[in-house]
Amino acid sequence: MKVAISVPDLVFDAAERLAKQRRVSRSQVFSEALQEYVAKHNGPAVTAKLNSIYDVEASAVDPALSSAQFASLSHEAW
């Protein structure tokens, strides 16, 4: 989708340099930046949704599953 936006000259110039450095389009730089911004700011919504679920659902791990997970780990010293 095409969108017209206004950005400060310094931001535009930095995006232009980054696009040339990475050999990608300026549109890709802006699109990736917006994706990261949306993901960063969507985190609280995801946390709120999970909190609302765990307010009414049990969140404890079944002891048998916990034991099986532990048994599957390597017990080497790092």
The proportion of the chain whose per-residue pLDDT surpasses 90, expressed as a percent, equals 46
Is the Cα torsion angle 28, 29, 32, 35 positive or negative in sign? Answer: negative
Domain count, the chain: 1
pLDDT at residue 1 tops 70? yes
Domain assignment present for 3: no
The pLDDT, as a whole number, for residue 46 is: 82
Domain assignment present for 47: yes
pLDDT at residue 16 tops 70? yes
Domain assignment present for 73: no
- Output the average pLDDT for the chain: 89
Rounded to whole angstroms, how far apart are CA atoms 13 and 29?
A: 12
Q: What is the mean pLDDT of residues 30-34?
A: 96
Rounded to whole angstroms, how far apart are CA atoms 28 and 30?
A: 5
Q: Is 8 exposed, middle or buried (0-12, 13-18, 19+ CB in 10 A)?
A: exposed
Q: What are phi and psi of 21, to 5 degrees?
A: -60, -40
> For residues 1 and 59, which has the higher predicted lDDT (pLDDT)?
1
